[in-house]
Structure 1
């Protein structure tokens, strides 16, 4: 006899069939009913395995009895008692010499002692579903991941580097906290590098720089000048801050801005001018955006310079502006508010001049006003 054990009671619950189910045809019908009711139930595979074992053991399809016993109670004890009663009925009806027990879960395998108490058990066949959905999906996802070269380089290479570098850092620094902090910082930088597409941006930047060099654009030279002026501005700001003592963070920041903003404005002006020259050479009609950019850069620089000067003058870092004697105007000193107002008005004036110039030039050349 081949006994398939369903301790969970899926047979009665899903199909409404009263166990035990005896005979090949009855079990085959049960497989179809349960498969249609719940195709994901592994009991279907267990019943099919019982049919296969029964066919292998007998010379004919009816020589070996194939039966399915199922628990019909909600509790484990009640299910085991129901299984014992069904086994007693099978033994009384068919008087088998021995049994082969087919199970598909560890819970079903616990019923084997109950079967052994009724008749000898020759073997226990446990069915393992090789292609369970979660396992199969995980396997194919992992296989697809390993086949993707870009994903391997983005995940496996950094992970391998971490596993190699971490013990080295731990040995050199003799500090677990320092080693973990270093690895975390590097991983964070790598994630930002990938998340912000820095590699693609750098690749595009190098391509644009190469094209600019080959095409003879003026902007490539002015961009280099802009980078140099930016470095000079940062250095000038650092020098201005280095002379402070006892100043707060806000005053130090405003001092840095005050000393660096003229150079930064010149850097932006150099880049904007180079772009404007390139557009002038390449196109007959200039766009208003390129004409406005140099004037806007100077205007913003004047306004920022004025506000930063106001704060640092109020803090006593720089002296007030002294005006020379002019015809009909006596020499004097500008108050911080007057100094700020002068810079703001100059910025607005430069901006208005830029708008006027761009509108006139684009109007005469018939250029497009939109970038």
Structure 2
């Protein structure tokens, strides 16, 4: 039986810290890579896993090979595609019947389905590095975490960017900033929960390109940003005896400002989307739909705050809004 001793470095510590590319094949090369990684970072657990893999390689009988696969700092789909490509490359020269996987944690074990798709996993060895000094271990844990956060752009945005924005908001607005901070956090959670990062990334590219070219859309983006900030600040100064009363005041006093801010943004994106008329029209349609929502919200807010405000106005506004949205939706079929 041909056995493959497999060690996984999913986040490519070997590449980032020791400038070693995978796959690393053979006992001698794996041992050299482990020593080089240990010298670059003595606290690195991947090096311990590689030493353990070499020890296991010496204990296994029969035809065998030892391999270290390296992924990418972009852990997930990107790193796993690289790992799969390296594994296929290894199997072209060593057609293993099964694999013994050596891991230093659950993250590396996330790629087990990739290995099992091409061969049987005979055994899994998880390496735990023991330390008698818990405080020192905690220091290294936090130190490594923050070091990794500075190297990983996506992680840095969460660890440093969001707290930094919150601290800046508090410094500028003082006690009035708590509601705004809650809004920032809720916005961040909504973006992460609905996975809107890609869409926002595309929007930022539009803004960047318009700034470089000094196009008309850039001035619309500036207007959008200014009005958005004004609306946020104004919202922090609103108050109400109940949550419903506060929501009603927001819908009347600041919702229009938010609408104009987003409308300017959508018009700018629509301009940048040309000559793709369908895409531009879809952004314009979003603006119309948002306008309908704001009008209905203002009508409901007026009804809540003013007992003399007729409910029929709310119903009429809602029905007319639905008609407008339906017409806009139907007309989109004729845009080519």
TM-score (norm 2): 0.37
Greater Cα radius of gyration, structure 1 or 2: 1
TM-score (norm 1): 0.34
